[in-house]
Structure 1
Amino acid sequence: MHEKQKARDVMTPDPVVLPEDTPVVRAAKLMRDQAIGDVLVTRGDRLRGVVTDRDIVVRAVAETRDISVTPIGALCSTHVVTVDPDQDADDVVRLMREKAIRRVPVVEKGHPIGIVSLGDLAVEWDPTSALSDICAAPPNE
């Protein structure tokens, strides 16, 4: 069992954040270079949504959009479930289970400050699990 932790204790801090007018190709290259699967999308300095590598494939590539000019704001999911940094981590897990989501942005006063993923939770709470091993392994090239 883990001690009472908050979202801030299990989140990955300083998530990759890009403005909504960023071209898809730039976001994709950033995901590749940083070995991540998602980018938080902002309008001004406020969270607007999340775009994932899957969003890029399904909503841009498969629809033959020009990824050099299509903005990530046109692809991102905007109905994003977020949590406060002081929310209990157990509540975050419950929320992820109820909503069937794999990652939750951590937002403070509308500003994204972190993200909690299934991998973060596995590494933090069960470092000997298969999921933890997979999440801790270097990405495929």
Structure 2
Amino acid sequence: MNDDTRVDRCEFCHLELVSEQQLIFENEDAMFLQLKDVDNKGKLLAGAGVIVPKQHRDTVFDLTETEWSAMYELLQRVKVFIDERFWPDGYNVGWNNGAVAGQHIHHVHLHILPRYKDETLAGKGIRYMFKEGRNQRGVN
């Protein structure tokens, strides 16, 4: 798929492609998006969302310094917003870069994942899948 086709089908470049997606905050260079069902406070990913640059960038390594700053500014606003509405006990915040790392939408997006102490995997962070033993290299 060429770059123009990928951008034409990008759900972060064209928010209307995902009807459940809603724009919560934005600044000149970035947006905070959530799916409409994250308001369900008993749901596992209650309050979760993504921060994306407005310009199509494939990975975090492609961001400009201005976009980094814009995303940082939104991250601070998002934390206050989620804290006031969902009262999480912690957060995972992170990027997936490339298909092998789990990036399924090829427009960089910073995951904001509120965590709750009543989750089955409470206390397990981003590195859990690497440390728990099932992820092995060279095994088919």
- Class of the TM-score when normalised by the shorter of the 2 chains: under 0.3
Q: Given the two structures, how large is their TM-score scaled by the length of structure 2?
A: 0.22
Task: Point out the structure with the larger helix share.
Answer: 1
Of structures 1 and 2, the one scoring higher in RCO (CA 8 A, sep 6+) is 1
